[in-house]
Amino acid sequence: MATTVFVKKTIGGVEIAEPALTPPTLANPTLPIKPKLGTAKSKSRKREIPEGLWTKCPKCATMIFDKELDEHLKVCPKCSHHFPISARERIHSLVETCTFEEMDADMASVDVLKFSAYEGKLERDRKATLLKDAVVTGLCKIGPHRAALGVMEFGFMGGSMGSVVGEKLTRLIERGTEKQLPVIIISASGGARMQEGAFSLMQMAKTSAALAYHAQQRLPYISILTQSDYGGVMASYASLGDLILAEPGALIGFAGPRVIKDTTQAELPPGFQTAEFLVEHGLIDAIVPRNDMKQRLVEYMDFLTAGKKAAAAAS
């Protein structure tokens, strides 16, 4: 740093010293510059907080980094709580890359009964999910097996089954029968869609009949129950699987607990509509964690299609 030269001056009889040169400005690099508030310091503090969002697990209250949650297929790494997952994410987690051939992607519901606010709700959920209705169907490959796969989207009007969901699933099952493929349907649904009234209820019979023809051909049907499954969906195809699997913590029933309690006037056992309760009482064959689902499906299909393959080889 340059030394400052001082000169002596006498003002009013008092001798004072002052710099001979004008002091350098703040821009001069030889002088330490006072950091401006709210720049360097706040930048470094920002860097300490990673970008992205955190999600609080409703079961164990752990804060989980969203990226980590996605890597675990939306399962809490600490307590294994299964968060809801979209139909597209689920398909991505199960099928071999680029093997999903989607069917009837543009089939859309019509407001036949002119039900109050139905059109608006359809429009809202189409925007939110980028789907036309509450199920995605298609043929795919899971491990070495070709299969007909239908996945319900709870985010679209609570995964409710109207005429489009019923028709898409029926076509999927019929395609499975025609191509001699196992059918897998992953349900997440509040039941039949009330806005389509009897048209929704008719889907129960239609999907069940298609499954009966599929079964006549001795082809396997695996039903997987996730999140919550109630009403007309549970009373039709969701409970007709040769094998019925469920994700941990899935809620399963026909009507909700309060309705049952009011109707039967009986005390209900705690947790009687959970997958864990129902596996012990025989409605469900196995509880399969999401991270194991693909491998387990391959093993079940190995087993369920072995007889048919042996018969084909012998003929």
Q: CA 78, CA 303: separation in Å to the nearest integer?
A: 33
Q: Does 289 bind Zn ion (CB under 5 A)?
A: no
Q: Does 59 bind Zn ion (CB under 5 A)?
A: yes
Which of residues 69, 73, 75, 76 is near Zn ion by CB under 5 A? Answer: 76
Which of residues 65, 72, 81, 194 is near Zn ion by CB under 5 A? Answer: 81
Q: Does 126 bind Zn ion (CB under 5 A)?
A: no
Which of residues 16, 26, 40, 79 is near Zn ion by CB under 5 A? Answer: 79
Q: Does 58 bind Zn ion (CB under 5 A)?
A: no
Q: Does 60 bind Zn ion (CB under 5 A)?
A: yes
CA distances for 217 relative to 172, 186, 210, 222, 242, angstroms: 15, 21, 11, 15, 13
Q: Roughly how many angstroms between the first and final C-alpha of the chain, as a whole number?
A: 98
* Residue 72 or 206 having the CB closest to Zn ion: 72
Q: Does 142 bind Zn ion (CB under 5 A)?
A: no
Which of residues 9, 56, 67, 78 is near Zn ion by CB under 5 A? Answer: 78
For the CB of residue 245, give the shortest distance to Zn ion in the complex, in Å. 22
For the CB of residue 78, give the shortest distance to Zn ion in the complex, in Å. 5
Backbone angles phi, psi at 147, to 5 degrees: -150, 160
Q: Pick the piece of the chain touching Zn ion (CB under 5 A) from 16-24, 77-85, 156-164, 217-225.
A: 77-85
Nearest one of 263, 187, 255, 172 to 219, comparing CA atoms: 172
CA distances for 62 relative to 50, 86, 146, 182, 307, angstroms: 17, 22, 39, 39, 47
Q: CA 161, CA 231: separation in Å to the nearest integer?
A: 10
Residues lying near Zn ion in the complex (CB under 5 A) are found at: 57, 59-60, 76, 78-79, 81
